[in-house]
Amino acid sequence: ETGVTQTPRHLVMGMTNKKSLKCEQHLGHNAMYWYKQSAKKPLELMFVYSLEERVENNSVPSRFSPECPNSSHLFLHLHTLQPEDSALYLCASSQDTGQGQETQYFGPGTRLLVL
Amino acid sequence: GNSVTQMEGPVTLSEEAFLTINCTYTATGYPSLFWYVQYPGEGLQLLLKATKADDKGSNKGFEATYRKETTSFHLEKGSVQVSDSAVYFCALKAAGNKLTFGGGTRVLVKP
């Protein structure tokens, strides 16, 4: 596997379910990100992890819970979601050097549908 | 705060036509600028980038020049193909980790 992978690619869940999205990067990067892409809305940054510590949380509801066990893996745990949470969830990674020029590389996304 | 404004799509054009997608930005400091492309059913792929004023990013026949005086980073391609049909996102990255995206421009190239 190369680049950034995400599983599952598609997920349908009920509002009472608990599920997790997984992201894995094979690029040796030290920063990982979760984004939400909804129809007709700009990409929204949800969480940023740098060196396995959460450095940004953009007012995301607590029903979304991220976890970064090591620099290669990032999870997004989902529970009691709402239908408006249906979206494409994108993971990205970068090599954070503190210079502000690092390129973020994206995975293919998980298409989530909440019924 | 930082922001990116792109022309709204969809942009529909014929194969071999010239493509321009306008992008302007507002940012403090000296951001890096990016164009990402999203093909149907896929995630975002980096298309090109520029890290300082007057830099030109290029890839796959696409070009964009970092214009600080007009705070713009317009994307151009001289002769598009059907396979260029996608959504194009302009983005900026200032100090820190945050990448600020424009709303995306859908491009449809017809044979």
Tokens for B75, please give them.
């994307």
Share of chain A above pLDDT 70, in %: 95
Q: Tokens for B77, please give them.
A: 């391609």
Percent of chain B with pLDDT over 90: 82
CA distances, A70 to each of A28, A75, B82 (Å): 11, 10, 41
Instruction: Note whether A109 contacts B42, CB cutoff 8 Å.
Output: yes
Q: Measured between CB atoms, which of A31, A42, A105 is closest to B46?
A: A105
Handedness of CA A94, A100, A103, A107 (dihedral sign): positive
Q: What is the mean pLDDT of residues A82-86?
A: 94
pLDDT tens readout for residues B73-98: 999 999 999 999 999 999 998 877 67
Q: Which residue has the higher pLDDT, B70 or A103?
A: B70
Residue B68 DSSP code: T
> According to the model, what pLDDT value does residue A114 have?
94
pLDDT, tens digit, for every residue of B40-62? 888 899 999 999 999 999 999 99
- What span, in angstroms and rounded, lies between the C-alpha atoms of A44 and A64? 14
Residue A101: band (very low, low, confident or very high) from pLDDT cuts 50, 70, 90: low
In the predicted model, what is the mean pLDDT of chain B? 93
For residue B99, the chain A residues in CB contact (below 8 A) are 33, 45, 92, 104
Banded pLDDT at A59 (limits 50, 70, 90): confident
Query: Across-strand partners of B108?
Result: B12
The pLDDT of residue B66 is above 60:
yes
Q: Give SS3 for B83.
A: helix
**Res. A112: pLDDT tops 90:** yes
Distance CA B26, CA A71 (A): 32
Say what the pLDDT of residue B97 is. Answer: 65
Cβ contact, residue pair B97, A50, below 8 Å:
yes
Q: What is the pLDDT of residue A99?
A: 67
Of A49, A115, A110, A43, give the one whose Cα is nearest residue A81.
A115
Candidates A45, A29, A2; CA nearest to A94 is A29
Residue B1 contacts A where some CB pair is shorter than 8 Å: no
pLDDT greater at residue A100 or residue B61: B61
Question: Taking CA atoms, what residue in B is nearest to A94?
Answer: B97
Cα–Cα distance for residue pair B62/B43, rounded to 1 Å: 19
